[in-house]
Amino acid sequence: MEGCRDCPPEEIAWARAPFLYEGPVKSALYRLKFSGWKAVAEALGAAMVEAHDHEADVVTWVPLGRKRRASRGYDQARALARVVGRRLELPVQPLLRRVAETGPQARRGAAERRLAMRGVFVASGAALARPPPRTVLLVDDVLTTGATAAESAAALHAAGVENVALLTAARAIRWDVPDRCYARRDSRPGLWLPGDVPR
């Protein structure tokens, strides 16, 4: 969508998130990531499925680096992907591998994030099979600048995946949400309702 800062990067066919990254949702995701509240994944995953309205062949996730996964004890994106896959009745497969550790992204601007994420992911597993899945549903917890999702999608495209769609629990937006990025004027910003179609 031309001129829209809230639209996904071009490597992503479409992106959905049921919530804005604020208030109780931000608190829930923080607890999922840092306090081990895995049960939060079930509720957030259910909301994510309600926001999903496209076909896909397989579900994968943006993997954490080894150090972060070891310190947290699990990968929050994988926990969300499992819920999404189960509810959509799609296979959940580890199609990406993180080949470099990156520092925290939260305090980096968009350009810094893109630079830090360059070459961080490679496709692995079934993504390298022939033929690869045509459409992959990529799951992550929060979409901010799109740098992580874009690099993940680029790795999948390089392995022959035709379409990469992104489904996150929340979307971080630091400006007013433009109406043209939402299908219906009565839709709540950050919440795609079933049946919504992007303009």
Q: Where are the domains of the chain?
A: 14-174
Q: pLDDT by residue (tens digit) across 75-123? A: 999 999 999 999 999 999 999 988 876 665 556 555 665 665 666 788 9
One CATH from 3.40.50.2020, 3.40.920.10, 3.50.50.60, 3.90.1150.10 for 14-174: 3.40.50.2020
Sign of the Cα torsion 46, 68, 15, 136 reads negative
| Residue-level pLDDT at 73 | 77
Q: Average pLDDT, stretch 6-27? A: 84
Q: What's the whole-model pTM score?
A: 0.78
Q: pLDDT by residue (tens digit) across 29-88? A: 988 888 878 789 999 999 999 999 899 999 999 998 787 777 777 899 999 999 999 999
| Residue-level pLDDT at 2 | 39
| Residue-level pLDDT at 89 | 97
